[in-house]
Amino acid sequence: MPSPAADPRRRRFDPVVAAVFVLGLLLSLLLALRSQVGGDQLNLLARGWLLLARGEWLPYGNPSSSGGAVPGGVTALLVAAPMAVWRHHRAAVLGLLLTQVLAFALLDCWLREALPRRQRRLFAVVYWLSPWRLLLSGFLWNPGYLLLIGAVHAWSAWRQREQAAFWPSFALALALGLGFQIHPSVTLLGAATMLLLFTGHVRLRWSGVAAGLLVSAATLVPWALAVWREPKLLPVSEGFPFRGLLLVFPLVRGILYWLRHGSLELPQAEARFDFTPELGDAWARPADLFANGLVGWVGTATILLPLLANLWLWRRLRRRGLAELLGVGLGGRAWVAGYVRVCFVAALLTYAAAPTTVMWWQGVSLLHAALLPLALWAGALARRRRRGRMVRIAAWSWATCAVLIALLLAFGGRRHRCGGEDSIVLPLRGDHSMLHDLQIYESCPFEIRPGGWWPDVLPEPNPQRPRAAQPPVRSPAVAGTSASNVPVASTRPGGGVGMFPTTGRGGASPGSNFGGGGGGGSCAATRKLPASPAVSCRSVSVPATAVLKSRMLPSASLRVVTNA
């Protein structure tokens, strides 16, 4: 008798999955084409732009909140590649979206072999239309790339459930190695891999693992040379090991995020809506009330569903024991359930050993695993005659709410509107050709003022350079106040006399891609060096196998100072 995984009915084109994919893709495109640029986005775009415009490859990523920078230059390549086709800051977001499309293709390829058609469709709904995935697909940020790393992890593990193979092992090791250069939270997938190997869910071809790790290590050679010359680039941590186990709260927080990732809720910082720039004062208040009700109340209530799904997944724990539940079951569905349990335990162990408090974006590499309990549980309920209709109604309701949340984010979210309260668009200290070459200023004019923010790898604007006045811009205004216009000097080329609102936010942005923050900016401290004829900032070339330059441009804490 052929195995269920070999059933050709599961492998053929499914119109429901295709319709869900198209719907989610259109929503992601809407979000991506309305995305704005904040602090972290400017740091990423600067790395890609330097590679394209000047041929300079920076072998380190965004600044760490606790010091140093993310190892490796993979992010510069990821950002630069789509901008080589379309010189626009939103091209990088479309490149990020492409990685999520590949992630969905890999996950669907896996689940159409492992699960019945109904559960495959349910996963497509809860994953591809998840507000968390839609949010991450709509703006440029390192964690958005991690969905592909998680999909490669699941797919390669499935391919090697019975027999080890070179290329899946190579893909897994390469994905983990490169993923660590994107965001260190990929450690979750590393822990899951070790536990899957220990429980017998996966077999690895060690020659493939070695080859993958060797390739990923080769990409770190320029970074190692840069750290050797400038030790301050080495990332550090302010916490201590097993902080989550000793303080308990970080571990509980990690469990809550596992459940929240399976719901319609959004992070509190991302649920700050303001529809005034799009709808005006008359309609902004009702839209704001609707958005807060849907995301704040309905979204929070849906946490009950992943809670019940996970309790169902572990329902036999007392009778069978942890070792048996983490073991390999017979059939594709049992293997998927075991994979989810192993990922959950790996997440708990990682959160317990982590030196810092868990943040919501640090678990997105396991987003597919956090959503699978919903598909498995709903599929089991749908097999019962009386509950099948209830599951269909719940799936339609889930999809409808997800579409509404995506539309609310696109027209009122802080990352997708120009102006309004708490927008991620920051005042800057000056102007730069990158801001116009990538159409950043043209997409949303920003305020220029002395205390503004500045990308960490671009040279500081020259305060002695003659400035022209700048056209009026929209600046984030606090609700209930009006912005007064005052002239502000600018380096905008060819600008005429203009005005700026004085209610814009200034200072450094409170976010970072490495140790903490919310993705709106960088926590790297910006320090200005005193002007001195005996001190100058020069480029530092980092040799590699090809002619690749790494230039430490004067800025922030990554500035390299040499004697003239």
* Arithmetic mean of pLDDT, 150-176: 95
The reported pLDDT for the residue numbered 13 is 83
Residue 431 lies in a domain: no
Distance between CA 442 and CA 165 in Å, rounded?
50
> Using 50, 70 and 90 to split pLDDT, how confident is the model at 548?
very low
Per the rule left: phi > 0, alpha: psi between -120 and 50, beta: everything else, 248 is left
Residue 485 lies in a domain: no
Closest CA to 366 of 384, 351, 355, 388: 351
The reported pLDDT for the residue numbered 7 is 54
Residue 501 lies in a domain: no
Cα torsion through 442, 143, 507, 64, rounded to 10 = -130
Who contacts 552 (Cβ-Cβ below 8 Å, separation ≥6)?
Answer: 226, 230, 457, 537, 539, 540, 558, 559, 560
The reported pLDDT for the residue numbered 413 is 92
Greater pLDDT, 367 or 469: 367
Around Cβ 287, how many Cβ atoms within 10 Å? Answer: 18
Residue 96 lies in a domain: yes
- For the cut 70, the answer to whether the pLDDT of residue 513 exceeds it is no
Residue 32 lies in a domain: yes
* Arithmetic mean of pLDDT, 121-138: 96
The reported pLDDT for the residue numbered 240 is 65
- For the cut 50, the answer to whether the pLDDT of residue 373 exceeds it is yes
The reported pLDDT for the residue numbered 232 is 83
Greater pLDDT, 132 or 557: 132
* Arithmetic mean of pLDDT, 27-39: 95
> Using 50, 70 and 90 to split pLDDT, how confident is the model at 385?
confident
Question: What is residue 348's three-state secondary structure?
Answer: helix
The reported pLDDT for the residue numbered 330 is 73
Residue 276 lies in a domain: no
Distance between CA 481 and CA 377 in Å, rounded?
49
The reported pLDDT for the residue numbered 244 is 66
Where is average pLDDT lowest: 188-202, 271-285, 318-332, 363-377? Answer: 318-332
The reported pLDDT for the residue numbered 451 is 85
For residue 194, give the H/E element and its range: helix 187-199
Distance between CA 274 and CA 422 in Å, rounded?
8
> Using 50, 70 and 90 to split pLDDT, how confident is the model at 465?
low
* Arithmetic mean of pLDDT, 454-474: 63
Distance between CA 316 and CA 294 in Å, rounded?
35
Around Cβ 199, how many Cβ atoms within 10 Å? Answer: 18
Whether the model clears a pTM of 0.75, i.e. scores above it, the answer is yes
Residues 337, 343, 347, 349: is their CA dihedral positive or negative? positive
The reported pLDDT for the residue numbered 440 is 94
* Arithmetic mean of pLDDT, 161-170: 94
Domain extent for 91: 4-60+70-230+244-266+288-400
- For the cut 50, the answer to whether the pLDDT of residue 118 exceeds it is yes
> Total domain count for the chain?
1
* Arithmetic mean of pLDDT, 287-292: 93
Residue 17 lies in a domain: yes
Greater pLDDT, 353 or 116: 116
- For the cut 70, the answer to whether the pLDDT of residue 20 exceeds it is yes
Q: What does R_g of the chain's alpha carbons equal in angstroms? A: 24
Question: What is residue 144's three-state secondary structure?
Answer: helix
Chain segment 234-264, per-residue pLDDT in tens: 877 666 666 766 777 778 888 999 999 999 9
- For the cut 90, the answer to whether the pLDDT of residue 403 exceeds it is yes
- For the cut 50, the answer to whether the pLDDT of residue 532 exceeds it is no
Annotate 349-373 with DSSP letters as a single string: HHHHH-SS---GGGGGGGHHHHHHH
Chain segment 322-344, per-residue pLDDT in tens: 776 777 777 888 999 999 999 99
- For the cut 50, the answer to whether the pLDDT of residue 209 exceeds it is yes
Residue 138 lies in a domain: yes
Find out whether 523 and 63 touch, Cβ atoms under 8 Å: yes
